[in-house]
Amino acid sequence: MYERLAEHWWDPRGPFVMLHWLAAARARLVPRGPGDAVLVDLGCGAGLLAPHVHGYHHIGVDLSREALRQAGKRGVSTIEADVLAVPLPDGCADVVVAGEILEHVPDLTGAVAEACRVLRPGGLLVLDTLADTALCRFVAVVLAERVGLAPRGVHDPALFVDRNALVSQCARHGVHLVLRGIRPSLPDLLAWSTHRGRPVRMVPTTTTAVLFQGAGRKKG
Ligand SMILES: C[S@@+](CC[C@H](N)C(=O)[O-])C[C@H]1O[C@@H](n2cnc3c(N)ncnc32)[C@H](O)[C@@H]1O
């Protein structure tokens, strides 16, 4: 599906618009790197994160060849691979990012294990994804598709992420993951609904039951 919709990745009014807002919000959890640090972006898509992170050698891993081609144009070093079998050595990354990918992978345990494997001790894991709740199924599928914030059929709710399982899988690999809920700013969303094209800020919210971010450092 991502391959089919690939022409829309960088369209600020297109079906991936919310991914642009999420990339900006995700990048706020990534400190500026020293220049030679390595950031591995799992499920990087077309590299929407690239304009927002600085001071890293940005390596993107994805299955979609066309998305990777576009990410390459944004300065991302690309690897065509499954996030469940990342062809990178253990502990090679100072930062591992998994933005809006875990809800597309049928093996959460395997994906978390790979993310934590490539992360060096002391390195930072940053992610965002969708929670396995009835509220999320309604908001992220029914509502988001209806208002054009998600392409139709892009999400399989059966793959939405169990937050307790995610936190405990990360802990097994030495990463103490802290979660926080996020949502689009309502005034921004209102403005966007009349003048599409303006970016919408993602803001913290009290619940992690829909869309949430996670961040944590690996012990060591
Ligand atoms: C929702 S998009 C997120 C893209 C990017 N992280 C962003 O936030 O802009 C999901 C991406 O994951 C990729 N993907 C899905 N399953 C994958 C897998 N098993 N291994 C690697 N990439 C995968 C898709 O091709 C798509 O580019």
How many angstroms is it from 179 CA to the middle of ligand 1? 21
> For residue 51, which of 69, 34, 82, 30 has the smallest C-alpha distance?
30
DSSP bridge partners of 204: 182
Q: Is the entire prediction scored with pTM above 0.85?
A: yes
3-state helix, strand, coil in the chain (%, to 5): 35, 25, 40
Is 66 a pocket residue for ligand 1 (Cβ < 6 Å)? no
Is 94 a pocket residue for ligand 1 (Cβ < 6 Å)? no
Average model confidence (pLDDT) across the chain: 96
Pocket test for ligand 1, best of 63, 82, 103 (most atoms within 8 A of CB): 63
Tens digit of pLDDT for each residue in 1-26?
Answer: 888 889 999 998 888 999 999 999 99
Domains, the chain, ordered by start = 6-217 (3.40.50.150)
How many angstroms is it from 114 CA to the middle of ligand 1? 15
Tens digit of pLDDT for each residue in 153-190?
Answer: 899 999 999 999 999 999 999 999 999 999 999 999 99
